[in-house]
Amino acid sequence: MKTRIVTGIFIGIVILAMVGLGGWWFSGFVSLMATVAMIELLKMKKIKALSLRGIFGLLSMWLLLVPSSWFDQVIPVEYSKIEMFIFLILVLLMLTVLTKNKFTFDEVGFIVLSSVYVGFGFHYLIISREVSDIGLLLVLFVIVLIWTTDSGAYFVGKALGKTKLWPEISPNKTIEGSLGGIVLAIIVGSIFYTINPFLSSYITALMIILVTAIFGQIGDLVESALKRHYAVKDSGNVLPGHGGILDRFDSLIFVMPILHLLQLI
């Protein structure tokens, strides 16, 4: 428990420091976290990062990760990121034939879906920090909401939890804990917005609070389902007491695309 607390405080300070610095510091940090998270996913599937499969997986993820402005500066061709990504998928499918199915269709599907999951998740985190004038507060707001939801769900679940939320995926989570996390997120998020009214209205803030608290927990369950499917306890071991990078960022990278798709950011 001591190791978990110390690691949690350390990674919390690092994340907040990078968010505060913004710019290339934050983008570089997020890109590094995304790379490690993708390697962790590949490892679950027993794909080595430096193998042909692994390299294609990392390339696919990086293609979706980088903002379009970066892509346009680095790649001097008249193709969008999505067009390049589709082309890469076709190359992966072609490799299933060239390798005589040693590189299977199942592995292609895993690489593509993992690239979307990790790449777009961290991509929208970078984009959110770059939102003019409010990027810093916006990212801090969502991070605080996720941490608050996790804490509320844990402590309320411990104290009052009786009804299992989804025992087949995460046996320790309860409905009471989940609701407790949402309620605490509303309270803390409302206080945050009262002190820093950086959005157009409280209604917008409340929508972000609810989406983050609800879908953040779903994002955590998605990663739990992945780990259960591939029979691993943690996504990695780079964070003593906390597992891997994906274990710490699963809620955040699930929530960020949803907030953008709902045009709340």
| The pLDDT of residue 241 | 62
Average pLDDT over residues 204-228: 94
| The pLDDT of residue 53 | 87
Average pLDDT over residues 110-130: 94
Chain mean pLDDT for the chain: 89
pLDDT at 27 over 80: yes
The tokens for 161 are 């939890």
Report d(CA 242, CA 66) in Å as an integer. Answer: 27
| The pLDDT of residue 114 | 94
DSSP-derived secondary structure for 73-85: HH--SS--HHHHH
pTM of the predicted structure, to 2 decimals: 0.89
At 133-171, the pLDDT tens digits run 899 999 999 999 999 999 999 999 999 988 998 888 888
First to last CA, the chain: 36
| The pLDDT of residue 5 | 75
CA atoms within 13 A on the CB side of 28: 7
- Give me the percent of the chain exceeding a pLDDT of 90: 58
Average pLDDT over residues 100-111: 87
DSSP-derived secondary structure for the chain: -HHHHHHHHHHHHHHHHHHHH-HHHHHHHHHHHHHHHHHHHHHHTT--TTSHHHHHHHHHHHHHHS-HHHHHHH--SS--HHHHHHHHHHHHHHHHHHTTTSS-HHHHHHHHHHHHHHHHHHHHHHHHHTSTTTHHHHHHHHHHHHHHHHHHHHHHHHHH--SEEETTTEEEEEHHHHHHHHHHHHHHHHHHHHH---SS-HHHHHHHHHHHHHHHHHHHHHHHHHHHHTT-SSS-SSBTTTB-HHHHHHHHHHHHHHHHHTT--
pLDDT at 67 over 90: no
Domains of the chain by residue range: 2-261
| The pLDDT of residue 10 | 84
pLDDT at 8 over 90: no
| The pLDDT of residue 73 | 61
Q: Residue 38, Cβ neighbours under 10 Å: how many?
A: 27
Long-range contacts of 156-162 (CB under 8 A, 24+ apart): 156/180, 156/181, 156/184
Looking at the chain, how many residues does it have?
Answer: 265
Type of residue found at 219: G
Average pLDDT over residues 113-123: 95
| The pLDDT of residue 75 | 62
pLDDT at 179 over 70: yes
The tokens for 175 are 């409905």
- Confidence category of residue 2, pLDDT binned at 50, 70, 90: low
At 15-26, the pLDDT tens digits run 999 999 999 899
Report d(CA 172, CA 162) in Å as an integer. Answer: 10
Range with the poorest average pLDDT among 44-48, 231-235, 259-263:
231-235
Average pLDDT over residues 77-87: 79
